[in-house]
Structure formats: C-alpha cells, structure tokens
Structure 1
Amino acid sequence: MKSVFELASKHVEPSIKRSLVESLLKRGVSRSIVAKCLGISPSLITRYARKERGLHDLTTVSDLASKIENLAERIVKEGLCGEHVYHEVIKLTLCALSKKYACGIHYSMDKSINPARCRICPELFRNIS
C-alpha cells in the first residue's frame, strides 16, 4: 500500500498550493509576493500557474475550494505569510485526507486501496482538521 504521507506530499499538498497560487494570482498578487508568502521559488509559481505541478483539481470539492479561497483572502487582507501560510496549507492537506477527498487519487496510485472501505485517513486525522 502506498503511504498516505506520500499521497499528501506528492499529490494533495501540491494541488492545494496550486489552487492557492491560482487564487492569489487572480486577485492581482504578484508572483514574487506569492512565492515569498508560500515559501517557494518563483519558478515553482510558474509551474503551478501552468498546471505542471499540483495536477489534481481539489477545488471540485466545494468545502475545500471555500477553505482555499478563505486562505487566499486572509493572505491578501491580513498579510498572512511564511510559516502561518504553511501551517494553513498543512491543515487543508489534513482536512482533505480526513474527509476522504483524496481517496480517488490514492486509488489511482495503488489499486489495492478500496476507497469505500478504507478508514485510515479519517481515523488518523479526525482530530486534526
């Protein structure tokens, strides 16, 4: 079985970051400010914007889309940056796992996963999100 931590670090977190980058760029935040606030390189911002990284669109889940938009709004209005943004991205990642929003991605990585029966993420992360 592929690790839920591999799922989170290679698929869920980058996809959340991509959605956040897109939201911030749409709000007129410069790429250099986005890179600084997210603690990533400007070239990675470009890769997110071109959809070359963070390949899964988790904004199809309205709950998660709303939380990502909320975070983008806080970054713009409150000047949230650095460690604070990282903390929020991790919380969103754990939320996606605990609510089984990433089960389809996990299944695509490992066909031995049965998303309907698997309770690993909800049990591990239930008190975190």
Structure 2
Amino acid sequence: MKSILEFAARHVEPSLKRSLAIKLLARGVDRGKVSTCLGISPALLTRYIKGERGLHDFMRIKDVDERLDKLAEEVASRRKCGPDAYTELLNLTFYVLYKKYACGIHYVATRDVNPAKCNACPALFGKLFE
C-alpha cells in the first residue's frame, strides 16, 4: 500500500488548496494575496483556476465545504496567512482522511486499498478530532 501521506499530498491537499483558492477569489481577494497566503506560485494558482491541479471536489461534502468557507473567511479578513493558513489546511486534509471522504479516490489512484476494510486513517487521525 502506498503511503497515506503521499496519497494525501498528491490528491487531497492540492484539491483542498484549489477549493480554498477558488473561494478566496470569489470573495474578491486578489491573486497575489491568494498566492502569498497559500504559499503557492502564481503559475500554480493559474493551474488550480484552470482545473489542471487539485482535481477532486471536496466542496460537495457539506462539513468540508463549511470548514473551507470558515478558512476562506479567515484568510480573506487577514486573520490567517502563510504558515497559519497552511496549518489549517493540513488539519482539514487530516479531517478528510479521518472521515474516510477520500477512500474512493485512494482506491482509484492506487488499487491497493479496500475502502470497506481499511481503517488506517480513522485510527491514525482519530485523536485529532475526537
């Protein structure tokens, strides 16, 4: 089985970062500020906007979308930026893994995990959210 953290870094985190970037732009935050606060290059921000990176839509999951909205508001109001925003994004990444919202994506990406039987993420990240 591939590393859960490697999977998260390739699939979950970029998708959440893309969603956050889109929410910030929708709030009128300029692209330079979005790039700075999220710690990404302007070129990567463009790839997020075009849908070339961060391909999975976690905004369709209500509690994830609400958490993204809260973080977007904190970044837009300048309460979180840089490392603080990244820490919150990592926390959200671990939350998505803990809730098993990414299991189907993990299965499709690697074919080496059975989502029905695997309980690795809830076991690893459960103490963060219980």
Give the TM-score taking structure 2 as reference length. 0.95
Farther off after superposition, 78-87 or 14-23:
78-87
Matched, 1:123 2:123: yes
Equivalences for 1:1-129 in 2 at 5 Å?
1-129=1-129
Paired residue total: 129
Quote how far apart the aligned CAs of 1:111 are.
2.0
Asked whether the 8 Å contact 1:2–1:109 carries over to 2, the reply is no
Quote how far apart the aligned CAs of 1:47 are.
0.5
Quote the Cα distance in structure 2 between the aligned partners of 1:39 and 1:68: 17
Quote how far apart the aligned CAs of 1:21 are.
0.3
Runs ≥4 residues deviating over 4 A? none
Asked whether the 8 Å contact 1:14–1:54 carries over to 2, the reply is yes
Quote the Cα distance in structure 2 between the aligned partners of 1:2 and 1:37: 30
> Aligned-pair RMSD on alpha carbons?
1.0
Q: For 1:12-51, what per-residue CA distance to the aligned partner results, in whole angstroms no more than 9, with x for missing partners?
A: 0000000000000001111000001111101111110111
Q: Could you tell me the percent identity over the aligned residues?
A: 50
Q: Residue type matched to 1:18 in 2?
A: R
Give the TM-score taking structure 1 as reference length. 0.96
Q: Residue type matched to 1:75 in 2?
A: V
Quote how far apart the aligned CAs of 1:2 are.
1.7
Q: Which runs of 5+ in 2 are unaligned?
A: none
